[in-house]
Structure 1
Amino acid sequence: MKLVSRSEWGAAAPTGSYTRISSTRGVKIHYEGSPVPDALLGDHGRCAGHVRAIQASHMANTSEGWIDIAYSFVVCPHGYVHEGRGLGHRNGANGNPTLNAGHYAVCAMVGTSGITSPTDEMLDGLVDAIDYCRSEGGRRQRSPGPPGRVRHRLPRRRPVRVGSAGRAQARSPPATAPASTRCSRATPSAPSPAASRPA
């Protein structure tokens, strides 16, 4: 796994203390739900800046009260896994306190325009992040199946349609995808609006 630590991508310090979690039920995969610059594809050097922009957007969102980037990890088009809140910390991205404490949140740098589908390297990075979360960084936890079987269940394209309010809305994932690998809808550059407060 190509892990990029918080210090390596230049993370700002959280504005509060994380809520510790001792175990999880799985991993939720998110996409940004807003434009993701095509320029990231040709220049990995821009990816750390994009993660910083996501973090700044989350921390500036006073209605949610996020203390940090809401995701546990963020995967770039080059397959690098950027540490967000990391392991052992409740995230703020899954929609409510129960899901935030029960599932890690991994965001793929995929959006509504620009980068709209994952690269092969990103898919590999997502598998690495899922495996890492499932093993709790080396401590194996419950899982729906062997780690090597996860990639074939990840969606290659994330269909998007425009809802009645003019906002992009994700279509539901196929019913055959296990809950631990289903994509969750996220609002533009932020997790779902019902995320825990403060987180």
Structure 2
Amino acid sequence: MNTTRTTPSKDDIALLPEFPRLGLDRIALVNSAVAAREAVAALRDHAHWGFDTESKPTFVQGEVSDGPHILQLATTERAWVFQLHDPASRDLAAQVMAEAGHSKAGFGLGDDTKRIRAKLGVEPVGVIELNHLFRASGYRKDMGVKGAVAVLFGQRFIKSKKAATSNWANPRLTEGQLIYAANDAWAAAVVHEALRTRAP
């Protein structure tokens, strides 16, 4: 018999203690050939990654985004933020996204994978939509990272609206942007790890 489970409401989540975020000391900005090689070498030591992208928002009707401008990949310990305007970072990001042998887990990845195909010219391999795993466990609505963190850890995942709508194409990212971007991918990695080791 299938059990239907309720996705936590915004009001429910607002009452929970804050989920600790990944700090700048464990976030690497990848915007050069050297940084890209170091990031890829570190990532390849792990089988499971958190995955997300960010694109500069479009505010004019009919305007087409040329994103993603940022690709975030994370393990449960660290996160790497690839700036895709840098040719070496873009090329190595494309390589690892097309590699088998590593899962790339995240939330709402339909648009992300579509943009990766268009921008990087590769088919992402090993992509895991975490919402599907929660749905298979009986949750009817898409969970999202906030709901997942609430269900699994009883905590509230903080997302900055200011950072979310900021200019991700800017060559110089702010600390707030780095923390926002990295934590989206890192939280996905942590959630995926929890789902692999225990039922939600």
TM-score by length of 1: 0.26
Q: TM-score scaled to structure 2, two decimals?
A: 0.26
